[in-house]
Structure 1
Amino acid sequence: MSSLDLNPERTALVAIDLQHGILARPLGPHAAADVVANSVQLANAVRAKGGLVVWVRVDLTAILHLSADAPTAPPKGSPPPPASASELTAELGIQSGDVVVTKRQWGAFYGTDLEQQLRRKGIRTVIMSGIATNFGVESTARGAFDRGYELVFAEDAMTSLSADAHAFVVGNIFPRMGRVRATADVVKALQEG
């Protein structure tokens, strides 16, 4: 495994869907509380070195639902989720210099100002965290990869609806797109950068 050299001022943390309606779901392999805590560690390290912190939330009342064999939408006739389900958890400690992006599909680039926010700050490297590894995190990572951003995946700062789904993406997809590391290793690289 190669070392992780980062230019913190050109690095952004993009944390996906750390909001009430998603944190409350059964998750694995990492617990929601651990993912939030590790994302907060990353955010603090990025901010301390002049990087950008981006919190992405999905508007669950307006998310795109298309016909699918295994839909992720609630069954027809179900009441809509409460507004609080789309709110980011207060445990993130969002600060005034942070950016909040609202999406209406899995990926955070389409139909949002995420790319504009990253370009304005001269970001070249994106650290990914959040939920779910194989939905919002992967979709956003693919968008970042297609746009030429270097990617770092904080494996223990993300989780999914099952440990198997998380393991497949972390072991087979993310290593082909960027570098997969533990939160502690990413924080250390930021501090040394």
Structure 2
Amino acid sequence: MPASTLDRTTALVLVDLQKGITGLPTVHPAAEVVARGARLAEAFRSRGLPVVLVNVTGGAPGRTEARRPGGTPPADWAELVPELDRRPGDILVTKERWGAFHGTDLDAELRRRGVTQIVFGGIATSIGVESSARAAYEHGYHVTIAVDAVTDLDADAHRNSVQRIFPRLGETDSTEAIIGLLG
């Protein structure tokens, strides 16, 4: 369902737009996803709304290195891409698992600011973004996904999230439509 409205206290959560992930081959060009994420971030900041930048530094203990080609990631793997133009007022969430809520203070940070709705973007659609959106829904937030600001490493997984999962969690729309709803 297209996005119909945004709550007065909506936050933007951009998941895993970091050097090590944006450099992987994705279904839609990562550079375009990053550019849309940066555009959303600027629109939210200009309206005084919270921007959350999420990066991932780990996985299940003892298993992450086995799944990553080449073993240990480069030193800058978890650094956010510079295009996001991180600002002092942005909330940084560093996670160890797929979802941005598990084992982090994200929920407390959002509740402290009175946030009732979250707009999501990032990589990978079916992993970090979907896990975070599911948790947001379970925590009682209204969920909106900027579907042109997400991409995945797998086309079928991306399509499943966008067509089957996200519409069950909330609303979906384009970056431009969501910015238009900010007023």
SS of 1:175's partner is helix
- The answer to whether the 8 A contact 1:65-1:73 is kept is no
User: 2:14: which partner in 1?
Assistant: 15
Number of residue pairs matched by the alignment: 183
Taking structure 2 as the reference length, the TM-score comes to: 0.94
Aligned AA (2:132): T
User: 2:111: which partner in 1?
Assistant: 119
Query: Where does structure 2 lack aligned partners over 5 or more consecutive residues?
Result: none
Aligned counterparts, 1:59-138, within 5 A: 59=57, 62-65=58-61, 73-74=67-68, 78-138=70-130
User: 2:152: which partner in 1?
Assistant: 160
Distance 1:170 1:66 in 2: 31
The alpha-carbon deviation at position 186 of structure 1 amounts to 0.3
User: 2:45: which partner in 1?
Assistant: 47
User: 2:143: which partner in 1?
Assistant: 151
Instruction: Pick closer, same or farther for the CA change 1:2–1:84 going to 2, 3 Å.
Output: closer
- The answer to whether the 8 A contact 2:147-2:172 is kept is yes
The alpha-carbon deviation at position 155 of structure 1 amounts to 0.2
The alpha-carbon deviation at position 63 of structure 1 amounts to 2.2
User: 1:33: which partner in 2?
Assistant: 31
The alpha-carbon deviation at position 2 of structure 1 amounts to 5.5
The alpha-carbon deviation at position 4 of structure 1 amounts to 1.9
SS of 1:83's partner is coil
Name segments (4+ residues, structure 1) moved above 4 Å: none
The alpha-carbon deviation at position 3 of structure 1 amounts to 5.3
Query: Where does structure 1 lack aligned partners over 5 or more consecutive residues?
Result: none
The alpha-carbon deviation at position 165 of structure 1 amounts to 1.3
The alpha-carbon deviation at position 45 of structure 1 amounts to 1.1
SS of 1:7's partner is coil
Identity %: 45
Aligned AA (2:21): I
Deviation by residue 1:116-157 (Cα, 9 ceiling, x = unmatched): 110111000000000000000001111101000000000000
